[in-house]
Chains A and B, each alone.
Chain A
Amino acid sequence: MTNLNKLEAYQLSCVRDDRVLFSELDFTLNSGHVLLIEGANGAGKTSLLRILTGFRRAESGNLFWNEELIENSVHFYQDTAYIGHNNGLKVALTAQENLRYAQALSSTTLSIDEAMAQVGLDGYQDTLVRLLSAGQQRRLALARLLCTHKPLWILDEPFTSLDRASIQLFEQFIETHANQGGLVIMTSHHETQLPHTLMQKIHL
């Protein structure tokens, strides 16, 4: 991940049910930075993330990935990973089958076994995802981030249903990713401790 990436937002605004959630939001996120989005329930954190992933159109404003509008950029989806409230895992498939599918759809870095070992799920390769606990499923989603090559991570409440050790592990991976030149955008209710990274905050 040596090449530098940049995500820029200009004058974003979002209206939902006639309520203005936020307006005229500007930010620039460079390689190696982490953007933490804070705000109360219903403040528009998830809406903002869905705008940043391009799933939802902002009421006004533009988003640029490496100076290209994300709607027109061929690289944006190639470079972006998203973990939402759902993990995007098929519960009727095994952990390994899920990761193999994810790898077939994008560029791969680590092998599946390495990624699973890093998140502490070694030995669960052939276990059906349905039989994993909620926290383990979340870890598997993290393993998917690790084994595919995606510079930009967009994480919606990544620490949900994780225990303290797993949260620390997750934070460590976020730091490593940022220090290797990746970009991370995340929302979180937890006190997020990332002392070794350049952290920007947006309060909605």
Chain B
Amino acid sequence: MKTSSLLNAFGAVIKRDLLLAYRFRAELINPLAFFVMVITLFPLALGAEIALLKRIAPAIIWVAALLASLMSIENLFRADYDDGSLELMVMTPHPLSILVMAKVMGHWLTSSVPLLFIAPLMGMMLHMDADIIGVLMLTLLLGTPVLSLIGGIAVALTLGLRKGGALLAILVLPLYVPILIFASSAIDAAMTGFPVSGHLSMMCAILFLALTLTPLPTAAALKMSLS
């Protein structure tokens, strides 16, 4: 008899979710297409004022990334809940909170990481300077996992509801605000020539806080929605 280690289980959950994302490639494109479309519409609506675009580009990119993440997070546990695999995930020797973290990581890898690759391109399109794009990328790298982690709690809470979409947005958006504020103040600091390390450290702190604290309530909410 072979027993399963926690690391194995963690890897298996991520691997399965990545495989599923690969099987549903069309859905994988959705957040990315949304992200690109929102950002491309802004210069069309604002006109070709380079100074203005340059000024608001980081905000546009961040808001688009935030909404793209929100759009895709609704499906985080839905399929597992409907086909009964959530019950199997509970019935393992491993703590549910760790497996939940694996699922959230899978979501981040499939929905936000593709955005990270295309974001510099979008920044260039909006005439951002190279060093500001660098800072923007750092804030996105630190900030988007937090979005997935916090979103996980709200998704788990609204799982039992048939149409939880609107409620999900109301629950989650206020919690997304701090990370948005720290990200934009970091970029502001970079644009005015101040050091950004303080803001980035703060974002790091939020990321680690979310990594340690969010899986527990998410797991508890999932168990609640199964009853």
Contact = CB atoms under 8 A, between A and B. Distances in A.
Contacts of A85: 84
B221 to A, nearest CB: 14
A93 B16 contact: yes
A90 B20 CA distance: 9
Given A108-B1, A109-B1, A89 B85 contact: yes
Interface in A63-94: 74-75, 77-78, 80-82, 84-93
A53 B13 CA distance: 22
A186 B176 CA distance: 45
B198 to A, nearest CB: 42
Interface stretch (A19-27, A31-39, A98-106): A98-106
Interface residues of B, number: 32
A89 B83 CA distance: 7
A106 B90 contact: no
Q: How large is the interface on A (under 10, 10 to 19, 20 to 34, 35 or more residues)?
A: 20 to 34
Nearest to B85: A88
Contacts of B87: 53, 55, 82, 84, 88
A105 B92 contact: yes
Contacts of B223: 55
Contacts of B90: 55, 77
A149 interface: yes
Contacts of B83: 86-91
B196 interface: no
B91 interface: yes
Nearest to A1: B1
Residue with the greatest number of chain B CB neighbours at <10 A, chosen from A85, A93, A101: A101
Given A55-B226, A57-B227, A77 B2 contact: no
Given A55-B226, A82-B87, A105-B92, A92 B8 contact: no
Nearest to A129: B83
Contacts of A100: 12
> Dominant SS at the B interface?
helix
Contacts of A89: 83-85
Contacts of B93: 74-75, 77-78, 106-107
A108 B4 contact: yes
Interface string B76-90: 000100111101111
A77 B16 CA distance: 21
A137 to B, nearest CB: 10
B49 to A, nearest CB: 47
A85 B89 CA distance: 16
B23 interface: yes
A154 to B, nearest CB: 9
B16 A107 contact: no
B24 A108 contact: no
A50 interface: yes
B8 A55 contact: no
A97 interface: yes
B3 interface: yes
A107 B1 contact: yes
Nearest to A109: B1
A77 B91 contact: yes
B202 to A, nearest CB: 37
Interface string B88-124: 1111111000010000000000000000000000000
Interface of A: 50, 53, 55-57, 74-75, 77-78, 80-82, 84-93, 97, 100-109, 149
26 contacts: A50-B227, A53-B87, A55-B227, A75-B93, A77-B90, A77-B91, A78-B93, A82-B88, A86-B82, A88-B85, A90-B16, A91-B83, A92-B23, A97-B19, A101-B13, A101-B15, A101-B16, A102-B88, A104-B11, A105-B88, A105-B92, A105-B94, A105-B99, A106-B93, A107-B3, A108-B2
Given A97-B19, A104-B11, 18 more contacts: A53-B87, A55-B226, A74-B93, A77-B92, A78-B92, A78-B93, A82-B87, A86-B83, A88-B88, A90-B20, A92-B23, A105-B9, A105-B12, A105-B13, A105-B92, A107-B2, A108-B1, A108-B4
